[in-house]
Amino acid sequence: MTIAIYPGSFDPVTNGHLDVIERASKLFDEVVVGVLSNSTKSPMFTAEERARLIEEAVQPFPNVRVDHFQGLLVDYVKSHQIDVIIKGLRAISDFEAEFQMAAMNRHLGQGTETVFLMTDVHYSYLSSSLVKEVFRFNGDIKGLVPDHVLEYMVKKLR
């Protein structure tokens, strides 16, 4: 059985993230969506809120589960016997940073493999940061995030 993790802050989860999750669920026996608590960022939502929103979004995929963690990804991977790290790429600019991170994870994780999945072209411009910025200025983000995420954002922040 091959277990993969798709790590990220997912603040908030976007339809681009869900595209990668859905495609990964077809490639691996089990996919863990790993919600990172990053002390260097100021998230809009707590790790628990983000995990709950993702859990609702991934209900159609029975082999996907959600967890959250702090610290090094490779430590989580080792302690949970995960085989593969999944990274979504939107553009060439993502590749450079993700390639460097994959090399470090491979070094620290003693051979941990990273698989890159290109996001659907419809989401190639989409990021959580951009969604938050547009939302803060009352821009329309419908269709960029799952409907329940948009509802939660409106309820919590407006």
Give me the active site residues, please. 17, 41, 90, 128
Smallest CA-to-CA distance from 133 within 121, 120, 147, 144 is with: 144
* Residue 61, marked binder: no
150 is in an annotated binding site: no
139 labeled binding residue: no
Answer whether the bond into residue 43 is a cis peptide, omega within 30°.
Answer: no
Helices (H), 1-158: 15-27, 47-57, 73-79, 92-108, 128-136, 147-157
Q: Which helix (H) or strand (E) holds 7?
A: strand 3-8
Known binding residue 36? Answer is no
41 is in an annotated binding site: yes
Q: What's the rounded Cα separation, in Å, for the pair 25 and 23?
A: 5
- Binding residue per annotation — 133? no
Binding residue ranges for ATP: 9-10, 17, 88-90, 98, 123-129
Binding residue ranges for substrate: 9, 41, 73, 87
